[in-house]
Amino acid sequence: MAVENGAAFLLKVSDGGTPEMFRTVAGLRTTQMSLSAEPVVVTHKGSGGWRELLPTGGIRAVSLSGAGVFTGSAAETQLKTQLLSGGLERFEVSFEGGERFRGRFQVTRLDYAGDFNGERSYTVSLESSGQVDAL
């Protein structure tokens, strides 16, 4: 696998149109994605002292986060609107090598910061709802 450019790891939000288009959330300097799967333990007295897990059991989830400079873009405004409404939107993350993940997410946290001699910045956190597809 080739080394990939971190600047090409992009968070995008759907425009809700047909065909669906995804807009890059502008101003992000860092983007992070966490994949998780909670196991279902089915260990019993006959397990010989070893933990056993239920295959394909449990809950799978994707968490997205990012931090960057506030630019006032439409995608940033959409993040704030979505957080305040509690709604779900379709998001995509893409990598330089062409790999993409798409699914419905809820914005769970949006923080703004600014120093007296610096730029306004923000951080955002999103949690998946339903299946996230690897494309």
The pLDDT, as a whole number, for residue 1 is: 63
Tokens of 129: 């709802």
- How confident is the model over 29-59, as pLDDT tens digits? 999 999 999 999 999 999 999 999 999 889 9
For the chain (135 residues), the mean pLDDT of every run of 10, in chain order, is 88 94 93 95 96 93 96 90 95 95 98 93 96 96
- Kindly report the backbone phi and psi dihedral angles of residue 83, in degrees, each rounded to the nearest multiple of 5, phi listed first: -60, -45
Q: Decide: helix, strand or coil at residue 34.
A: strand
Q: Which two tokens stand for residue 125?
A: 């956190």
Its pTM stands at 0.90
The per-residue pLDDT for 53 is 95
